[in-house]
Structure 1
Amino acid sequence: MDNNSLPKINDTTKAPVYSSLYPYEARAALVGVWILTCILGLVGNSLVIWSVILSKKLRTVTNAFVVNLSVADFWTSLSYPWICVALVSNESWPLESEVPCVIAAIQLYTGLGASLYSLASIALNRMVLVTQTMNTYSWWYTPRKVAVMIAMTWVCPCIVFFLPPILGIGVFGYDPQDNTCSDKDGHPRGPEYNLAQSVGLYPVPMLIIICCYTALYIHLKQHFRKMKKKDNMELSQTLSVDTTTRCQSHVPNRVSTASSINSVSTLQDSSVRHRQAISRQQLAITKNLFLVFCIFASLLSPYFISLAIPSSRKFALYGVTITVFNSCVNPIIYAVNHPQFKVVMRKIVKCRYSEIQEPSDLLKLLLSLRKN
């Protein structure tokens, strides 16, 4: 068999020399951004993971996907130091071996893809939890099925990343055009590989997230509308009963009438406050869903659009720099703003492990060893 017909994941043969698309000054400035994102991503996602390890209270089905998201972002953040080395290099990988750059490319794309599919899994979980009955939710989210769902968030990106090079469509490693550890744009079928990544990693989770949050919003809007209608019906019935009672009374009773008026007034005030609370709750939910969607779209869309459009390749490095912020933003959205996560993470930062509610067996063991 001809050796040239064998599939190659990383082409180690001497490739043509390409000049960088970006000036050295711009790449040096981006290094600072990548290093900062790396530190925030590693620290933030570590806190999320350790919070679940040390507290049983956080071990819920939804948080299983949140932890998987943090693992994916932590895995992605590990690639950033090597990408920084690539950014400040000129024309070729500066180290003797290109293996670290190849590993960094694997971490970047598989971690980014797993993060995207984890976000979609979280959106799907929330939609089912709110819109379906508990029996339906319990049937879908058994421990075994949750494990399969989490595994698929990694399998799908791995297929998208590894299958094309195995079939001869693109290679990955040090890219001299972008000065990054990624897919090599100089490969004859490099544009096809870029398109495969853009189609395989972006539209599917994006569509799932949009559909789930849209369904969730529609369900909540209908729920609030029913609550408001029920509230108005109860108020109307109360007024009707009170009027009938007063009409049937043969002896006018001013005290009773005044009491009834006060009762109706109290009910009206209560109804108004209830409707205002519903409006505030609906507005808050709308803002949260809009925030999740906007952050997801604004951070990830530029890079994947640049992959799909060959003429925008010069924007790819800046696009992926925006995308990597996703690694450190996710812990803030899905953990820091969560009241239970926030409390546990604060205890960990302050080293007050004994104050963590519902400590895990591991934490109990560590606390007992510290006492001894």
Structure 2
Amino acid sequence: MNYTATNNLDPSLYQYKTRIGVVCVWIVASIIGLVGNSLVIWSVILSKKLRTVTNAFVVNLSVADFWTSLSYPWISVALLSHGSWPMELEVPCVIAAIQLYTGLGASLYTLASIALNRMVLITQTTNTYSCWYTPRKVAVMIATTWVIPCVVTFLPLLLGIGSIGYDPQDNTICSDKDGHPRGPEYNLAQSVGLYPVPMLIVICCYTALYIHLKRHFRKQKKRNSMQGKPSVCGDVEASSCLTCDDYRNNTSHVVAKTRLAISHQQLAITKNLFLVFCVFTVLLSPYFISLAVPSSRKFALYGVTIAILNSCVNPIIYTINHPQFKVVLRKIILCRYSDIPEPSNFLKSVLTLQRN
């Protein structure tokens, strides 16, 4: 569809010095995002210990962040241009816009999938969890985290709502074109299609998880106070609701209870993934709010610049806090591949070749 940009908008919405400063942030985020998320993906390739259902979603989150980070160099080119796309073809800018929208959307829906996974794992029985998370169903869930953002990105365009590429009105990033007659509708479609649903899922799941944990530990505290005995026996955590005498006198009872117990490691993983969600929410919310509110158009560049920092933050969180990933990631960073726990067949083959 052909359209003419309106003349009532300032073509210099952002000063060139401001854009240079923003570009520095984008370049740093691109480097850290590409390297950091590559390390997360490689850690799962090199260690069998990390090949769990939850980590399948974690890897998908890293793939989404890596995919998004690939767009940052081209967006930086757009930010440094003077009134028009500096290359003959605008295709790289269009691809960068697609990467930005689909990557951010996939990250949001993956966080929703992770929250649902943690809730089911901790609040439901092992059989229920196994039924929900078969390899085929997990593959479908992961595919869905990409299909929805693709639909939200491409369907409005096919219907003539909005346009993506270099935005000549603002001389800014590769995204939707504000000069399009239906540009605000496209912004609204992005905001509504990518933000509220996954956020609602995450909030509901973590709220249900919090309520479950609160009730669970309240019962343990009450039961332990009535028994007047210590709540931990060797390696058996307090969450198993067993005293030492219970463990020694009734092994079958212990087995049944420990299957439903919330292990210390699972709680640590859940807390770490909840931290990932909190950071993501803080960084991404300003951008999606700016899309939904037309009057905040000038803030959009700063909002998306804050949002892209999420692509490089997650690997840092995993390295510092995640009880499983931090061990493997540190071994990779230190090039101590032989110390990686439960090495994969691929890593074993590489190590064998090195020795020979």
TM-score between both structures, scaled by the size of structure 2: 0.84
Query: Secondary structure at the residue paired with 1:101?
Result: helix
Distance 2:116 2:184 in 1: 32
SS of the residue 1:29 aligns to: helix
Q: 1:335 to 1:161 in 2, by over 3 A?
A: farther
1:346 maps to what in 2? 330
CA–CA distance in structure 1, aligned partners of residues 227 and 345 of structure 2: 50
> How big is the shift at 1:329?
1.3
Matched, 1:69 2:70: no
3-state SS of 2:228 partner: helix
Alignment: residue pair count: 319
Q: 2:225 aligns with which of 219, 227, 232?
A: 232
- State the 1:366 CA deviation: 1.4
Moved more, 324-333 or 76-85: 324-333
1:40 maps onto 2:36 in alignment: no
The aligned residue for residue 258 of structure 1 is none
Matches of residues 79-158 of structure 1 in structure 2 within 5 Å? 79-158=71-150
**Counterparts of 1:364 and 1:334 in 2: how far apart (Å)?**
24
How far apart, CA to CA, are the structure 2 residues paired with 1:30 and 1:355?
Answer: 40
Q: Which moved more, 1:358-367 or 1:124-133?
A: 358-367
Worse-matched range after superposition: 357-366 or 222-231? 357-366
The answer to whether the 8 Å contact 1:217/1:286 transfers is: no
1:288–1:341: structure 2 CA closer, same or farther, 3 Å change rule?
closer
- SS of 2:324's partner is helix
| 1:218-367 equivalent positions in 2, closer than 5 A | 218-235=211-228, 291-334=275-318, 336-367=320-351
Question: What's the TM-score once normalised by structure 1's chain length?
Answer: 0.81
Q: Which residue of the other structure, out of 186, 198, 222, is the alignment partner of 2:191? A: 198
Q: 8 Å contact 1:38–1:78 — kept in the other structure?
A: yes
1:364, distance to aligned residue in structure 2 (A):
1.4
| Inter-partner Cα distance in structure 1 for 2:275 and 2:345 | 37
Corresponding residue SS for 1:339: coil
Distance 1:145 1:284 in 2: 25
CA distance in structure 1 between the partners assigned to 2:304 and 2:174 by the alignment: 12
Q: Which runs of 5+ in 1 are unaligned?
A: 5-10, 237-279
With over 3 angstroms needed to count, the CA separation of the structure-2 counterparts of 1:370 and 1:14, relative to structure 1, is: farther
> In structure 2, what is the Cα distance between the partners aligned to 1:55 and 1:190?
46
> Percent of counterpart pairs with the same letter?
78
> Rg larger in 1 or in 2?
1
Matches within 5 A, 1:20-59: 20-59=12-51
Shift of 1:36: 0.8
Distance 1:84 1:48 in 2: 25
Deviations 1:135-185 (A, max 9, x none): 000000000000000000000000000000000000100012341100111
